[in-house]
Amino acid sequence: MYELDDQQRAAQSWFSRLRDDICSALERLEDEAAGPAPAGRFQRTAWDRPDAGGGHGGGGVMSVLKGRVFEKAGVNISTVHGEFSPEFAKQINGASDDPRFFATGISLVIHPLNPLVPAVHLNTRFLVTTRRWFGGGADLNPALPDDGQTKAFHDALRIMAGRHDPAYYPAYKKWAEDYFWVPHRNRHRGVGGIFYDHLDSGDWAKDFAFTQDVGATFLDIYPRLVREKMHQPYSAADRLTQLRYRGLYAEFNLVYDRGTTFGLKTGGNVDAILMSLPPEARWD
Amino acid sequence: MYELDDQQRAAQSWFSRLRDDICSALERLEDEAAGPAPAGRFQRTAWDRPDAGGGHGGGGVMSVLKGRVFEKAGVNISTVHGEFSPEFAKQINGASDDPRFFATGISLVIHPLNPLVPAVHLNTRFLVTTRRWFGGGADLNPALPDDGQTKAFHDALRIMAGRHDPAYYPAYKKWAEDYFWVPHRNRHRGVGGIFYDHLDSGDWAKDFAFTQDVGATFLDIYPRLVREKMHQPYSAADRLTQLRYRGLYAEFNLVYDRGTTFGLKTGGNVDAILMSLPPEARWD
């Protein structure tokens, strides 16, 4: 039995509530959509982290919706604890001398059906080793970028981040640009957003508030972007562009994304990890 | 100007002729197929390896067919030379003291439209550093495995390999089993075949003959497997199984395949590398 302390409990509770709110918001969009297909609903699947001895444990809940607005939307929350392998512990902030860790977080990837509606990715987490920090980010992935929507997404993050620290947005926008660069395609995945890690300002409540605000801002802006586009007609050529863009998206996740490659190679929950992959993609 | 020696010229010439023969055989299958769609034909695209100084050079030719039997078939030949980076040279047979290398080879991936027709992969190559060796393999990747076809494919390779050395087939079959294991899916990609590397028996002509025979055997057996299945009707459920199987195929190539990940991360020819990815795949 692993006893969560107040910070761990508060973070876990927030990620769970954010999951509920995001799932509700996406289901409302499913209800608003026209069309003969039924409105999609999230299906939840709980999973446990196998206890391989050594005090490993915890688990998570995947929520997956396959609907008429969202071809595939996956929202995963997890809370796990254990010990990093000696080799891996060296690479982790605060774990070189004591490999024990605790992690709680939310991760979501949304692949809309309509190619005009942007796909999106959000991930925020609270990590505890001998140190404690937040990390995460949100980035927009339209197959057919729209300058107005790109600006609205970045404006929302910029204004939100500015309320916490004027240095955050420029630094975290740059971090996302660096992270989502796909060298072999000589382009970025998506139109950016923010990415941050090892956030430990010395004021836990401040850092938690920022992380909460990243989630709340996403919850506000993304459904607005979807509503703007979800009723617009699209062509077969638009759909093809989207399916090919999703090929790039899958390449990035499988070749470069640290969470995906690390998770796959170290026995993470495969279904939860692969939830990020697009429902359909083309390399033709 | 890089002067090829007799062995290099012989190997390059064989891979080029094998490419011609394979492309012809696949085009004949396109001609034999019924259906309103036109018979597919290979389109060839040559590419040059950028000369970044230091005597790098060479290039290759991609041949891609999008037809009615083969949704996407790609056959790539390349002949390149240069110097491995100091770090990479350490990992390569015979390159630790002298990083210069020469490589010539053929690589193909075939993704048929009909889910009952097996996808297939073949790669053979001749490498020269301070040592010289052959490597390669062939493996069958049916979305819906058929025991008879699996046996026929393995029998062809077993009988062929047995003509060269009784130790080859058991060892190279095992090598393929190990190589095409997908840990995160807890299964193999495909139903196996053979995989070999660093083949240098001391008798170059013998090793070249074996490598030629791998190609010739593929050219004999694969069209026969296609002919058996290409006219069989399939269901939407079969197609879905195929598209999901191709998701696994893409995962293997992007996460584990040494050629793909090495090529993408070191500035290889991206189009030639990604030629292996399926024309359409699903993760739903």
Check residue B36 and give its pLDDT.
84
Per-residue DSSP letter, A183: G
Which of B254, B268, B239, B32 is closest to B144 using CA atoms?
B239
Check residue A161 and give its pLDDT.
98
Check residue B214 and give its pLDDT.
98
Count other C-beta atoms under 10 Å from residue B9's C-beta.
13
3-state secondary structure of B275: coil
Q: Are strands A100-112 and A70-83 parallel, antiparallel or unpaired?
A: antiparallel
What is the number of domains present in chain A?
1
Containing structural domain, residue B34? 6-276
User: To 10 degrees, what angle do helices A204-229 and A6-32 make?
Assistant: 10
Distance of alpha carbon A63 from alpha carbon B190, whole angstroms: 30
Check residue A34 and give its pLDDT.
80
- Asked about A56 being catalytic, the answer comes back as no
CA distance B265 to chain A (A): 7
Q: Is B183 on the interface with A (CB under 8 A)?
A: yes
H-only helix segments in A36-146: 86-89
Distance of alpha carbon B277 from alpha carbon B74, whole angstroms: 10
Contact assignment for A278 to B283 by CB distance below 8 Å: yes
Contact assignment for A280 to B278 by CB distance below 8 Å: no
Check residue A51 and give its pLDDT.
61
B134-167 burial code (b ≥16 CB/10 A, e <16)? bbbbbbbbbbbebeebbebbbebbbebbeebeee
Contact assessment for residue A144 and residue A115, using Cβ atoms and an 8 Å cutoff: yes
Contact assignment for B184 to A265 by CB distance below 8 Å: yes
Place of tokens 């090929």: A247
Distance of alpha carbon B119 from alpha carbon B113, whole angstroms: 9
**Tokens for A28?**
């409302």
Q: How confident is the model at residue A52 (pLDDT cuts 50, 70, 90)?
A: low
**Span A64-120, pLDDT tens digits:** 999 999 999 999 999 998 888 887 788 888 988 898 999 999 999 999 999 999 999
3-state secondary structure of A140: strand
The H-or-E segment that residue A273 falls in is helix A270-274
B224-244 burial code (b ≥16 CB/10 A, e <16)? ebbebbbeeebeeebbebbbe
CB pairs < 8 Å spanning A and B = 70
Q: Is A56 on the interface with B (CB under 8 A)?
A: no
Check residue B52 and give its pLDDT.
54
Q: Report yes or no on B157 lying in a domain.
A: yes
Provide, as residue numbers in chain B, all residues whose Cβ is less than 8 Å from the Cβ of A278.
283
Residue B183: which CATH number? Answer: 3.40.1500.10
Which of A14, A27, A23 is closest to A213 using CA atoms?
A14
Contact assessment for residue A65 and residue A31, using Cβ atoms and an 8 Å cutoff: no
Q: Report yes or no on A282 lying in a domain.
A: no
Contact assessment for residue B126 and residue B83, using Cβ atoms and an 8 Å cutoff: no
Strand partners, A63: A44, A75
DSSP string, B129-183: SSSEEEEEEEEEE-SS--HHHHHHHHHHHHHHHHHH-TTHHHHHHHHHHHHTEEG
Burial, A4: exposed, middle or buried (Cβ in 10 Å; 0-12, 13-18, 19+)? middle
Check residue B90 and give its pLDDT.
83
Place of tokens 């993704």: B111
Distance of alpha carbon A213 from alpha carbon A163, whole angstroms: 10
Contact assignment for A72 to B284 by CB distance below 8 Å: yes
Q: Report yes or no on B282 lying in a domain.
A: no
Contact assignment for A250 to B255 by CB distance below 8 Å: no
Contact assessment for residue B76 and residue B272, using Cβ atoms and an 8 Å cutoff: yes
Q: Report yes or no on B237 lying in a domain.
A: yes
Contact assignment for A281 to B284 by CB distance below 8 Å: no
Dihedral sign of CA atoms A217, A220, A221, A226 in order: positive
Q: Are strands B57-65 and B100-112 parallel, antiparallel or unpaired?
A: unpaired
CA distance A133 to chain B (A): 29
Distance of alpha carbon B257 from alpha carbon A273, whole angstroms: 19
**Tokens for B243?**
């598209």
Check residue A259 and give its pLDDT.
81
| B152 torsion bin: left (phi>0), alpha (psi -120 to 50), beta (else) | alpha
CA distance A254 to chain B (A): 6
Check residue A230 and give its pLDDT.
97
Count other C-beta atoms under 10 Å from residue A147's C-beta.
8
- Residue in chain B closest to A284 (alpha carbons) equals B279
Q: What is the mean pLDDT of each run of 10 residues along chain B (284 residues)?
A: 90 98 98 91 91 71 97 95 83 88 95 98 96 97 98 98 98 97 93 97 98 98 98 97 97 90 75 93 96
Strand partners, A195: A137
CA distance B126 to chain A (A): 25
Q: Which residue in B70, B251, B252, B266 has the most chain A C-beta atoms within 10 A of its own C-beta, making it the best mutation to test that interface?
A: B251
Check residue A206 and give its pLDDT.
98
Contact assessment for residue A247 and residue A255, using Cβ atoms and an 8 Å cutoff: no
Average pLDDT over residues A249-261: 90
Check residue B91 and give its pLDDT.
83
- Residue in chain B closest to A185 (alpha carbons) equals B270
Contact assignment for B184 to A278 by CB distance below 8 Å: no
Which of B193, B201, B190 is closest to B143 using CA atoms?
B190
Q: Report yes or no on A121 lying in a domain.
A: yes
Nearest to B277 among A185, A274, A283 (CB): A283
Distance of alpha carbon A72 from alpha carbon A279, whole angstroms: 6
What predicted TM-score, i.e. pTM, was given to this entire model? 0.90
**Tokens for B11?**
């190997």
Q: Report yes or no on A165 lying in a domain.
A: yes
Provide, as residue numbers in chain A, all residues whose Cβ is less than 8 Å from the Cβ of B282.
279-281
Which of A125, A130, A148, A268 is closest to A195 using CA atoms?
A125
Per-residue DSSP letter, B49: -
**Tokens for B268?**
């290889």
Give every CB contact of residue A38 below 8 A, 6+ residues apart in sequence: A67, A68
3-state secondary structure of B122: strand
Q: Report yes or no on B17 lying in a domain.
A: yes
